[in-house]
């Protein structure tokens, strides 16, 4: 093993270990959420994952963005199959080790080149759409600063990676023509770049090929570790997120078992309120004040958010100028759980910074602006459910702090006193028929 192979092996192992460490941290943060059972109906769950995550069925609702995203998604994933060959070559000092596959190898390399070109073109178009076409959902307040830079960085990075891949093949092709490299592969796109490199010496061509080879593979390793600190983690989490998504009708609100039990006792005249099992303990908190009050699926939703803004652009509250942005809700949850996770790493499991998701990140004004219409959940390309978080946080405001808007408090009092939301007793409900 030469020094070059040793350096590659060290970089490969270091990048893999760093990725595993960061992924383990994210999984730990997701597990800070409360348990919820999403093991029902596995057949439908697999079907949902295949249709939504793999098939990108909800992306193409907006055809232009959907097609461009599919090109980037499919192209980038398939092209990176070649990483297997690059890793083998890097460790053992070989060159195009899989070329023994003959014509199939030629087909693969040719396909990779076409896809790389399509990815490059798609990324350029997406960059222009995001930065110059002033599409409203990309210019909301929550997208200022890092969120906007994050999206642009990944597009630029993918353009550089695809360019390096094509120039690597162009130099490789020229070296093959000079019988300095083994003859392997078909290069329908990179041969168009050969005039740029044609005047270079043999040594310079080798330098270009090696530089692009190293840039491409180190870029892949860098991209792998960039995923865990950016919104692009959805590349990995979209699959479990859609599998564990809520399969119930979107209008069905999940009730707290403890509250449901209390209501059933009130409605059953023969029930013994003291007959509940002794093992039952009251819930720690009604609803959600902080991220640890949410369930693990909701926290995974936050990490899966692509920040595409489709939810916010469909939200009637946001469209009419209210403060609520479902995308911001998900971004705030992710920021808060990251903050809590770092605090636990530094100070232990009992860490407390005196802050909470409610008020410090999300205001009651945002929560009460929600109409519970589920437009955000319907629009999300990966089945994220912002409404469930909003409902849980509003539940805390009502049941723990009695902090509902005046209009709702009036209705609550009427239900308690009159058994109906109106300000008259139940005995008068049918008086309208006598008028």
Q: End of a domain among 211, 243, 275?
A: 243
Say whether pLDDT at 252 is over 80.
Answer: yes
Same domain as 352, residue 292 = yes
Same domain as 287, residue 215 = no
Instruction: Between 149 and 270, name the one with better pLDDT.
Output: 149
In a domain, 321, yes or no: yes
Say whether pLDDT at 148 is over 60.
Answer: yes
- What integer is the mean pLDDT of 39-52? 95
Instruction: Between 81 and 290, name the one with better pLDDT.
Output: 290
- What integer is the mean pLDDT of 38-42? 93
CB 66 within 8 A of CB 60: yes
In a domain, 431, yes or no: no
Dihedral pair phi/psi, residue 345, rounded to 5°: -60, -35
Give residue 280's pLDDT: 54
Report the helix count and the strand count for the chain, using DSSP H and E.
19, 0
Residue 434's Cβ-count burial label (10 Å; 0-12, 13-18, 19+) is exposed
CATH number of domain containing 297? 1.10.1060
Both tokens assigned to 64: 């232009």
Same domain as 261, residue 234 = no
Q: What is the mean pLDDT of the chain?
A: 90
In a domain, 276, yes or no: no
CA nearest to 116, candidates 64, 151, 168, 60: 168
Q: How far apart are the first and last CA of the chain?
A: 98
DSSP output for 356-401: -HHHHTB-HHHHHH-----HHHHH-TT---HHHHHHHHHHHHHHTT
Same domain as 294, residue 193 = no
Give residue 1's pLDDT: 66
Same domain as 231, residue 261 = no
Helix (H, G, I), strand (E, B) or coil at 286: coil
Same domain as 333, residue 420 = yes
Say whether pLDDT at 277 is over 70.
Answer: no
What percentage of the chain reaches a pLDDT higher than 90?
66
CA nearest to 315, candidates 380, 225, 235, 409: 380
In a domain, 206, yes or no: yes
In a domain, 53, yes or no: no
Q: What is the pLDDT of residues 59-97, one digit of tens each?
A: 999 988 889 988 888 887 788 788 889 999 999 989 999
Same domain as 231, residue 287 = no
Domain count, the chain: 2
Say whether pLDDT at 166 is over 90.
Answer: yes
Residue 132, CA atoms < 13 Å, CB-side half-sphere: 5
Say whether pLDDT at 196 is over 90.
Answer: yes
Same domain as 220, residue 261 = no
- What integer is the mean pLDDT of 226-247? 92
Domain that holds residue 331: 257-265+283-424
Banded model confidence at residue 186, pLDDT cuts 50, 70, 90: very high
Instruction: Between 278 and 103, name the one with better pLDDT.
Output: 103
> Can you tell me the distance from the alpha carbon of 171 to that of 197, in angstroms, rounded to the nearest whole number?
7
Helix (H, G, I), strand (E, B) or coil at 34: strand
pTM equals 0.88
Give residue 279's pLDDT: 46
Banded model confidence at residue 181, pLDDT cuts 50, 70, 90: very high
Element (H, E) at 190: none
Same domain as 210, residue 301 = no
Q: What is the pLDDT of residues 380-433, one digit of tens each?
A: 999 999 999 999 999 999 989 988 888 888 888 888 888 778 888 777 777 777
Same domain as 415, residue 390 = yes
| Contacts of 359 by beta carbon, 8 Å cutoff, 6+ apart | none
In a domain, 347, yes or no: yes
> Can you tell me the distance from the alpha carbon of 85 to that of 96, in angstroms, rounded to the nearest whole number?
7
Q: What is the pLDDT of residues 124-139, one digit of tens each?
A: 999 999 999 888 899 9
> Can you tell me the distance from the alpha carbon of 258 to that of 286, in angstroms, rounded to the nearest whole number?
9
Banded model confidence at residue 297, pLDDT cuts 50, 70, 90: very high
Torsion-angle region of 104 (φ positive above 0: left; ψ -120 to 50: alpha; else: beta):
alpha
In a domain, 360, yes or no: yes
Same domain as 403, residue 367 = yes
> Can you tell me the distance from the alpha carbon of 273 to that of 266, in angstroms, rounded to the nearest whole number?
9
| Contacts of 190 by beta carbon, 8 Å cutoff, 6+ apart | 113, 166, 167, 168, 169, 170, 172, 173
Banded model confidence at residue 336, pLDDT cuts 50, 70, 90: very high
Give residue 274's pLDDT: 65
CB 358 within 8 A of CB 323: no
CB 202 within 8 A of CB 180: yes
Banded model confidence at residue 278, pLDDT cuts 50, 70, 90: very low
Give residue 27's pLDDT: 96
Say whether pLDDT at 435 is over 70.
Answer: no
Both tokens assigned to 238: 């979209």
Neighbours of 382 (CB within 10 A): 21
Q: What is the pLDDT of residues 199-236, one digit of tens each?
A: 899 999 999 999 999 999 999 999 999 989 898 899 89
Same domain as 118, residue 225 = yes
In a domain, 45, yes or no: no
Q: What is the pLDDT of residues 344-355, one digit of tens each?
A: 999 988 888 989
């Amino acid at each position: 093993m030469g020094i070059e192979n040793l350096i590659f092996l060290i970089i490969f192992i270091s990048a893999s270990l760093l990725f595993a460490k960061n992924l383990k941290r994210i999984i730990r943060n997701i597990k800070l959420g409360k348990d919820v059972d999403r093991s029902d109906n596995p057949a439908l769950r697999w079907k949902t994952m295949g249709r939504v995550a793999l098939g990108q069925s909800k992306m193409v609702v907006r055809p232009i963005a959907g097609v461009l995203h599919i090109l980037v998604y499919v192209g980038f994933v398939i092209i990176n199959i070649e990483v297997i060959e690059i890793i083998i070559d890097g460790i053992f000092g070989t060159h195009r080790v899989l070329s023994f596959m003959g014509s199939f190898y030629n087909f693969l390399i040719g396909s990779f080149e076409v896809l790389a070109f399509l990815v490059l073109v798609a990324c350029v178009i997406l960059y222009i759409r995001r930065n110059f076409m002033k599409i409203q959902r990309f210019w909301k307040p929550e997208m200022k600063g890092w969120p906007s830079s994050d999206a642009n960085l990944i597009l630029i990075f993918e353009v550089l990676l695809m360019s390096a891949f094509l120039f690597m093949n162009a130099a490789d092709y020229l070296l093959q023509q000079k019988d300095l490299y083994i003859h392997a592969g078909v290069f329908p796109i990179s041969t168009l770049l050969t005039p740029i490199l044609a005047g270079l010496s043999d040594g310079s061509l080798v330098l270009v090929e090696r530089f692009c080879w190293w840039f491409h593979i180190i870029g892949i390793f860098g991209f792998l570790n960039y995923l865990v600190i950016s919104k692009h983690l959805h590349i990995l989490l979209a699959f479990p997120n859609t599998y564990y998504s809520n399969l119930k009708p979107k209008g069905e609100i999940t009730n707290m078992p403890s509250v449901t039990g209390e209501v059933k006792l009130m409605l059953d005249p023969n029930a013994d309120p003291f007959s509940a099992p002794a093992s039952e303990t009251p819930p720690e908190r009604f609803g959600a004040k902080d991220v640890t009050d949410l369930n693990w699926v909701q926290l995974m939703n936050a990490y899966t958010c692509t920040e595409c803004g489709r939810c916010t652009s469909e939200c009637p509250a946001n469209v009419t100028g209210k403060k609520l942005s479902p995308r911001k809700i998900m971004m705030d949850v992710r920021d808060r759980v990251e903050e809590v996770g770092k605090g636990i790493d530094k100070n232990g499991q009992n860490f407390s910074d005196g802050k909470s998701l409610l008020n410090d990140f999300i205001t009651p004004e945002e929560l009460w602006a929600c109409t519970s219409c589920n437009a955000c959940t319907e629009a999300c390309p990966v089945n994220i459910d912002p409404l469930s978080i909003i409902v849980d946080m509003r539940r805390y405001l009502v049941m723990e702090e009695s902090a509902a808007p005046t209009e709702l408090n009036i209705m609550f009092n009427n239900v308690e006193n009159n058994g109906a939301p109106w300000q008259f007793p139940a005995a008068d409900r049918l008086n309208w028929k006598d008028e």
